[in-house]
A and B are shown apart, each in its own frame.
Chain A
Amino acid sequence: MAHSVTVERLSKQYQLGESDTDLLYERVMSWLRHPLSRNGAGERETIWALRDVSLELDHGEVVGIIGRNGAGKSTLLKVLSRITYPTSGRMTVNGRVAALLEVGTGFHGDLTGRENILLNGSILGMRRREIEAKLDAIVSFAGVEKFVDTPVKRYSSGMFLRLGFAVAAHVEPDVLLVDEVLAVGDAAFQKKCLNAMDELRSGGRTVLFVSHNMAAVENLCSRAVWIDEGQVRMDGKPKDVIEAYMASNADVSRLTADLSMVRNRRGNGDGRFTKLEFLGADGRPLKFLSSGDRVILRLHYEAFKSISRPDFEVGVFTELGTLVTKFSTWIDYQIPSIQAGVGYLDLEIDCFSFLPGRYYLSLWLKIQGPTYFDVLEHCVQFDVETSDFYGSGRGIHRYFGIVFVPCQWTLKPSLIPTDHNQPYLCG
C-alpha cells in the first residue's frame, strides 16, 4: 500500500535581506538596464531552511517533529501543506490534508461565532453540509453556546482560542499537520487540546506534530523525527529521539560545569553565569549525587555592571523536559544588588529529594520586567544515583516517580480487640 506521505530529498531555500527590486518602478528600471538578466542585478544571501529531507509516513502514524527554533520544522509543514513550494525535491501526500498552523485562521472580528465557524471550517477544507452538521458539536466543544451569535471581537482571548481549536479539531482529514498550536492558551485549554489530539490519533489518520512539548510528543507519537539545521538528524522511537535531542542541548554531564564558553544562551549579557558546581555538605565538590543528599549548588557569575535587585533562578527538568521545580531568589532571598565583577551564589538544598535518573538544569539571571541578562536552557546534565535514604536496606527506585518526599509511616493499631475467629466486619 502506498505511503501516506512521502518526502524525497526536499530542499527549500530562502533569500535573506532586502531585495533591491521591491518596487515595480525599480524592477522596470532594472529590466531596462539589464534586459537579459533574470531577477535583478544583485546577488542575495540565501539560507537553506530544509536540505535534502527524506521521510516516509504510513497511514495512521503519528509523528512528532522536534528540533530547535529555526531548525526548519515549520517550513517542512508549510511545504507539506502546499503553502509554499520546495526549491528542489518532491513530496506526495495521499488524501485530504489539513494544516493547523494557527488557531482561528481567517477569523474576522465583526462576524459572529457561528459565521466564523462556517468561514473557518470552509477555509480548512470542510464542506458546508459537514460544518452545519458538526456546528453544535463544535460550539459545545468550545463552550461558547451563549455567545455563538455575538461578534467574535467581543470574545475573550480564551474563548477565541477555544473556538478556533474547536473548529480545527472537527476537521477530519486524512493527513493532519499541527504546528505548536498547543503552545498557546491556559493549562485547562492545553489539556483539552491534548485530549483532542489523542482522539485524533485513535481515528487512524496520519498526524505530523511539531512541538517543543516533549511530554506531549512522548505520549501521543509513535515516532519522532529530529530536524536540525534543515536536515533529519534522527528518526525513530520518541523516547530515543527525545533523549538524544535533550542530551545534545546539554553540554556536560559532570558535577562541575564550565558555563563561560556555552554559546547557546540568551540575554543581553550584562551579567552571565560562568560556572556551576555541586558541592557536598563539607563544601567540597561532589563526585556523584544521590537521592536525598545535602547539596550546595554554587552558581558562579560575572557582572559587567552593577545590577540592582537581580533574580537568580535554577530550573530542574527531567529527561523528557518536564519542569520538576524552580528555585528562585525572588521567593525568599531578595538581593538588593550585585556589583560589577565576579562572585558566586550558593543554593543550599537540605535534601535533594529527586529520584534516581537524569536531569537537566536551566539557569536564569534576570530582573523584574522581565529583562534577561543570561538564560542558559538545559545547559547542564547530571545524574542522581540511588541511595538508601531511609536506612532500610532498600533504595527508592526511579519508577516511584520523579521526586520523593521525606516522610515516615506510623501504624496505630486498633484499640478494640478483634476476635480472630470471627470474620472481620467493616464499620
Chain B
Amino acid sequence: MDSIRELWRYRELFYFLAWRDVKLRYKQTVLGVAWAVLQPLMAMVIFTLLFGKLGSMPSDGIPYPVFYFGALLPWTYFSATLSNSGNSLIANANLLTKVYFPRVILPTSAAVSGLVDFAVGSVLLFAIMGYYRLVPGLSLLLVPGLIVLLFFLALGVSMILAALNVRYRDVKYTLPFLVQLWLFATPVIYPVSMIPDRYRLFVALNPLSGVIDTFRASLVPTKQIDWQLLWISSAVTLGIFATAVVYFKRTERTFADVV
C-alpha cells in the first residue's frame, strides 16, 4: 500500500520525534530518566502497604511488590502513552499546519518514546525479583510478544483518542477520567482470580486484563497463564487497532483545517 511505503520513507522522523520527546521529558530534571520509574514505584509501595499488608488482598501467591510492580509497569506505559499520544496531535498543532508528513507519526512516536521508560522500569523490576529470589521460567519468552501486544493496544486507543481530540476539545479533559476508570477495570490492584466467574467475561473484554495478567504470569513460574484470556485480549486489540487505522485515515485530511 502507498501509505506503508510513505511511512517507510518517513521512518527517520519517527525516531527524531521520539528522541525529541524523551530528551525534552528529562532534560533539565535532576533525576533524569529515573523519573520514569518513580511513579510506578511509589504506587507499588502504597499498594503493597495499603492493599497487601493492611487489606490482605490475594495476590496469586506472588510477593506483593512483584505482584504490584509487575502490573504497574505495563499499566504506567499504557496510561502515559494514552496521555502523551492522545494529545500528540493538538500538542503539535504547529507542525500539522505547516509541514506535511504522515500524521500517524505523531501518536506513534509518542507510543515509542514510552517504551524507553518501560525499559528503565524493567531493570528495576528484575532487581525486585532478584531480591525475592524469583527466577522466571520459559514463560519469560512471552514477554516480547506481550510488549508488542501492549504497544498496539496503547497505540490503537491513542490514535482514536488523538483523532477525536483534534475535532472535539472536551476529549482532552475526559481523558484523565477515562484512564482512572480503566485502572479499576483492569486487574492491577487485584488479581483476575478474585473476580467471580459470571463477571469474568467483562474483565476479559478489557484487553488490558489479558496483557497484564499474562505479564505477571510470565514473570513467575508458579502462576498459570490464562491462555483464553490472552486470546480474547489479542482479538480485541486487533479489532481496536484496525478501527483506529480506519478512523485515523479517514479524519486525517481534516486535521490541519480543524486543529
In the complex, the answer to whether B13 meets A24 with C-beta atoms within 8 Å is no
What is the bound-complex CA distance between A14 and B256, given in angstroms?
A: 12
In the complex, the answer to whether A128 meets B12 with C-beta atoms within 8 Å is yes
- Considering only CB atoms and an 8 Å cut-off, how many residues of chain A contact the other chain? 31
- Interface members, chain B 158-202 (any A CB < 8 Å): 164, 168-171, 174
Binds A, one of B19-27, B47-55, B69-77, B238-246: B19-27
Binds A, one of B32-40, B93-101, B121-129: B93-101
Cβ contacts under 8 Å, B2 to chain A: none
A186: Cβ under 8 A from any B Cβ: no
A95: Cβ under 8 A from any B Cβ: no
Cβ contacts under 8 Å, B94 to chain A: 102, 105-106
Q: For residue A127, which residue of chain B has the nearest CB? A: B12
B231: Cβ under 8 A from any A Cβ: no
In the complex, the answer to whether A78 meets B256 with C-beta atoms within 8 Å is yes
B28: Cβ under 8 A from any A Cβ: yes
Binds B, one of A117-125, A210-218, A230-238, A295-303: A117-125
What is the bound-complex CA distance between A82 and B99, given in angstroms?
A: 8
What is the bound-complex CA distance between A25 and B168, given in angstroms?
A: 9
Q: For residue B27, which residue of chain A has the nearest CB? A: A110
Residue in B100, B170, B254 whose beta carbon sits within 8 Å of that of A99 in the complex: B100
Cβ contacts under 8 Å, A81 to chain B: 99-100
Residue in A14, A22, A97, A127 whose beta carbon sits within 8 Å of that of B168 in the complex: A22
B132: Cβ under 8 A from any A Cβ: no
In the complex, the answer to whether A22 meets B257 with C-beta atoms within 8 Å is no
Cβ contacts under 8 Å, B28 to chain A: 110
With a 10 A CB-CB cut-off, give which of A118, A123, A125 has the most chain B CB atoms: A123
A-contact bits for B90-118, CB 8 A (1 contact / 0 none)? 00101111111100000000000000000
Cβ contacts under 8 Å, A122 to chain B: 12-13, 16
What is the bound-complex CA distance between A125 and B10, given in angstroms?
A: 8
In the complex, the answer to whether A82 meets B12 with C-beta atoms within 8 Å is no
Cβ contacts under 8 Å, A82 to chain B: 100
In the complex, the answer to whether A83 meets B20 with C-beta atoms within 8 Å is no
In the complex, the answer to whether B100 meets A101 with C-beta atoms within 8 Å is no
Cβ contacts under 8 Å, B13 to chain A: 122-123
B253: Cβ under 8 A from any A Cβ: yes
In the complex, the answer to whether A119 meets B20 with C-beta atoms within 8 Å is yes
In the complex, the answer to whether B99 meets A123 with C-beta atoms within 8 Å is yes
A84: Cβ under 8 A from any B Cβ: yes
In the complex, the answer to whether B99 meets A97 with C-beta atoms within 8 Å is no
Nearest Cβ on chain B to A179's Cβ, whole angstroms: 9
A90: Cβ under 8 A from any B Cβ: no
Residue in B16, B23, B97, B257 whose beta carbon sits within 8 Å of that of A14 in the complex: B257
Cβ contacts under 8 Å, B171 to chain A: 24
Cβ contacts under 8 Å, A106 to chain B: 92, 94-95, 99
Known: A122-B12, A128-B12. A27 touches B168 (CB 8 A): yes
In the complex, the answer to whether B99 meets A83 with C-beta atoms within 8 Å is yes
B-contact bits for A50-86, CB 8 A (1 contact / 0 none)? 0000000000000000000000000000100111110
Cβ contacts under 8 Å, A383 to chain B: none
What is the bound-complex CA distance between A128 and B12, given in angstroms?
A: 7
In the complex, the answer to whether B27 meets A99 with C-beta atoms within 8 Å is no
With a 10 A CB-CB cut-off, give which of B99, B164, B170 has the most chain A CB atoms: B99
What is the bound-complex CA distance between A111 and B101, given in angstroms?
A: 21
In the complex, the answer to whether B99 meets A105 with C-beta atoms within 8 Å is yes
Known: A108-B24, A110-B28, A122-B16. A101 touches B168 (CB 8 A): no
- Interface members, chain A 1-42 (any B CB < 8 Å): 14, 21-25, 27
Q: List 23 contacting pairs A-B, 8 Å CB cutoff, sorted by A.
A: A24-B170, A25-B170, A78-B97, A83-B98, A83-B100, A84-B253, A84-B257, A85-B253, A85-B254, A97-B100, A99-B98, A99-B99, A102-B98, A105-B98, A105-B99, A110-B28, A111-B24, A111-B27, A119-B20, A123-B95, A123-B99, A124-B99, A127-B12
The 10 closest A-B pairs by CB, nearest first: A24-B168, A85-B253, A122-B16, A23-B170, A82-B100, A84-B256, A101-B98, A105-B98, A102-B98, A83-B256
